[in-house]
Amino acid sequence: MPPDIETVRALRSDVALQIARYTERLGISQMAAAKQLGLPQPTLSKIVNGRTSDLSLELLLRIAVRAGLRLTLQTGLIPQEAGAYVAAGRPASDRTFPSRVAGHAHASLDESLRELTPAQRVEAFLEHNQLVNELSEAGRAAQARASSHASPGR
């Protein structure tokens, strides 16, 4: 499958996941959530259950906007780098981080972002994406090294 198609598929899946998490946090029935989001309940059921192959990324983005989700979409050199992340809008207590260091870094970043102009935010976002890509590449290289050491028979 071409990388552009895989990237769109990954973004579609991640946006659907964020919508599903949002509806779960509402704590109401799918019917009520669908009504609140202005879409048929079967469509919301598809989203919640990860059956998004016949839903467009545009539709999912429209639903995310209706839900008030502030998403950041990321693409990359390979489809596996693509993703949709909630940029803001959830209370800090609802966010989960892999470590206290990550949580502290995120809180510090949030505080710093409030002090930036829109142009500075865009520049910081681009720099962040570049760093994330470099970390991702370093991780893949480390995995490749670990795999080659783990299978000496090759």
pLDDT in tens, 70-123: 888 888 788 887 877 776 544 444 555 556 776 677 677 777 767 777 677 777
Q: What span, in angstroms and rounded, lies between the C-alpha atoms of 57 and 96?
A: 25
pLDDT at 138: 81
**What's the gap between Cα 79 and its chain centre?**
13
Residue 35 to residues 12, 38, 77, 97, 129, Cα–Cα distance (Å) = 21, 5, 38, 32, 36
The confidence score (pLDDT) of residue 92 equals: 45
Run of H or E including 61: helix 57-67
Report which listed range, 53-62, 64-73, 90-99, is most confident. 53-62
pTM to 2 decimal places: 0.58
The topology (CATH level 3) of 1-92 is 434 Repressor (Amino-terminal Domain) (1.10.260)
Residue 19's SS3 state is helix
Residue ranges of the domains in the chain? 1-92, 96-154
Give the lowest-confidence range in 38-47, 49-58, 70-79: 70-79
What does the pLDDT read at residue 152?
59
